[in-house]
Amino acid sequence: MHVKRSMPKADRRRLIASDSMSDFNMVAPEDFSDDNRLSSSLAMRKKKHKNETSAPAKNKQENGRHEASEPSFEASEPLFEASEPLFEDAHQVELQLLAIETRRLDFEVAQWKQQQMLRREALQLKREEIKLKEVTTKQQQHTHIMELKTGILQALDQVGQPPAPARKYLALLEG
């Protein structure tokens, strides 16, 4: 009795991919001209390939064509037994690709949100900087006005003018 062994999914995919590539390599270049001929030729070559691999090794030795570098396979030793149909593997691969794409998109969204947050913080810092500059400018203007008032009062005091005309000048400054 034959015991089925389960293969890791990655090994199974590699084996399927290499099997499909070997089928592709068996197709002659002239078969590429017509799709119908390609599919029928490919089917014939697959059938021929299966017959060759399942033939006993002693038949090859009797023909005298057996080469030492060619491995011999007996019918009781299959190369690969799929425990699941191929279309399920294709769906699983597609689901894995979709999961990878989803993770990539989630990462891009998170990165975009982080960039937006940093931009908002930078704009907030710019606003605060502008407000501080406005406050500083107003304080400097107020200090300058106070210095001018002091200078005017001292000048009027030196000239001997009464404070009433000084108020006119001060009103013009605050104006």
Number of domains forming the structure of the chain: 2
pLDDT digit string, tens, across residues 18-41: 665 555 555 455 544 444 445 565
Asked, for residue 169, whether it belongs to a domain, the answer is yes
Residue 91 lies in a domain: no
Q: Does any domain span residue 87?
A: no
- Single out the residue in 81, 98, 113 at which a domain terminates: 81
d(CA 73, CA 79): 8
* Structure letter (DSSP) for residue 81: -
Number of H helices, E strands in the chain: 5, 0
Q: Which domain holds residue 34?
A: 15-81
Q: Tell me whether residue 9 is in a domain.
A: no
Structural domain contains residue 64 = yes
Give per-residue pLDDT as tens, 82-118. 565 566 788 999 999 999 999 999 999 999 999 999 9
Residue 164 placed within a domain: yes
Q: Is residue 121 part of a domain?
A: no
The predicted-structure confidence for 47-76, as pLDDT tens digits, reads as follows: 665 665 555 544 545 555 444 455 555 555
Contacts 24+ apart (CB under 8 A), 77-81: 78/2, 79/53, 80/7, 80/15, 80/19, 81/2, 81/4, 81/5
Give yes or no for a contact between 28 and 41, defined as CB atoms under 8 angstroms apart.
yes
